[in-house]
Structure 1
């Protein structure tokens, strides 16, 4: 490459660098939080309300500034804070000390920027002290018309009145208030403190009452919980004791189940055996009633009935004869002899009849002693059966091997013991025969005496 080309390239590069440097030295850009104020030759805004100001306002963009002919200065548009400390007197004559803060900034419109630029462009730090003095004066004026109660209870009124009274002046300064806050209100006399004491006392009393109520409720709840816990422990112990008792009863029942079942089985066997014995005894008794006692009672009843009938007939006959005799005895004296003779004849006939009857009886005994003895036994059969039953009166326990049949045989044997008296009766009847003869002789002698 030739030297000329190097020179040409270097010159072009130098020219570019010079242009860049010149552009950087001439071009100014406004940041988002600032306004660029350009004054000097040709720095006049065309059109608008601020055309006669003699400077140009640039916001949010850039502009060329000719060095030596124009000057560019920056006006900050960001927020600023001014602390307020004001000592003043209220409407009640009570001195108070107010501490607050004002948040302000330069207005965003060109008129506000122009007003702020004219007043604070070279003294932007003086802006805060100006705001302090401005709001201090307005606060003193407004607080002088308010009471401490108004200050405490209605701070919004204080701030709104302060901003309204300072709005015109702030507009002239090109400033706007973003926020005004009253932070503290103090008084040297203690008025505010005393003003809050009754309420504080009420609040404290309410708090103590509430605390006492809560403590009482907590104590009652603790007592109820403790009582519930004690009741739960008592119920648990009662249930445990009941469960243990059931377990003990179940264990005792299981231990006694074997012997108890055996005893029950033996008891059932004894009960069944006893019932069977009772049934057998009842059967034997029924058989005795039907086969022995009832026929014997019927025979004895028949015998007694016949004997009573014969006796009644004899008594009736004798009474009839006696009546007839008494009737005849009442006859006159003539009939008395005839009556006596008739009575004698009747007595003789009666004696003869009795003698004949005795003779017939003796002859019957001689010819058929068995029938007479049987008749006597039949008449005395209940006494014979009672005597035979006395043989079992002293028996406490009797074992019958062959059941009802054995009982029947035993009773039959006892009853047949009465047959042993048959021979004795026969002997007695034979021995009484001579006596009967003597009786007949005596009767004959009686008749002779009559």
Structure 2
């Protein structure tokens, strides 16, 4: 009787010990997942300040399912749902979330399969010794750290949907294939292990392929931005040259103008003098120079963009109130302003009204930008923001969502409003926090 009780207590103690080991192994696995998640997203993209609680919930959820049910299907479901839960607060597109979830899960599943099939005689549904779960967790952590240290931080860019779909197919097909092999060819362990190793290698390469594509599209986008800025500076140089020629012409004829004005003054022909002076003023003004803030970067961007606007739109209202002695050489401001005005001009040109309003002013060391335009009334609204109607999202400008990121990165704020026929963007930038 005492022996039975002893063995019963011993078995219970061993079960508790095994459960504790399983919980610790799962905790280590979720710690490794944190590295994997960091490859796809940045902390700044999260709507929540404390995302660690989601890892704890995911750990508790998967641990409970694993301990209560010996079902591979339930384990798959619990792991995938916990990954989606972890990515929930991040402001990224659904395609990117799906890619991240499935590629992280498939690497998890493949490492698990390789460890267990290499060290045990496993059959589907059979419980696994917790020691092997610990080995799996350490292997995952090792892989995650290597990938994170050998890939660059996430770029502020979105890949085209076709590229994302192609990348997503690799982990999805890998999951189906490896579980098919485990069920059908479990007796030929060498084949399953070799297939799992090959799939693991391919899926790890997907991380590097994904970041290579980001780098490629980022380079194309930067090339487009720099090309546009080169055109801006070239156009501003032409304006400056033309204005200088007008000044030279006026200076050359100043003697004749003084004689003419003196003659009018002697005759008291005030109306004629006013008309004459008005004509001189009109001659001095360059019709291509819409912005004269004294800041070459802002003047260049606005003059270049507004030249296009005046060619295609019916009404363009520009009010710039920036001190001439204020100087800030900042590429980010030009990128923000250039993309917002470019988007506004393009959308306004598609509408019937063809209206554009631009206001800029500085109040108490705060730069305020207000841009309003008419538009055709077609907006693709998604959960994470507004989707552009342009066919080449990844290389056409940087898009409103990425303009938001640039504004926030410079310590600013952005607000977007729209009605049935008006689209308005307001940007607030603190001069002291703008990054050079």
Same-fold call, TM cutoff 0.5:
no
Normalised-by-shorter TM-score class = under 0.3
1 or 2, which has the higher helix percentage? 1
Normalising by structure 1, report the TM-score: 0.21
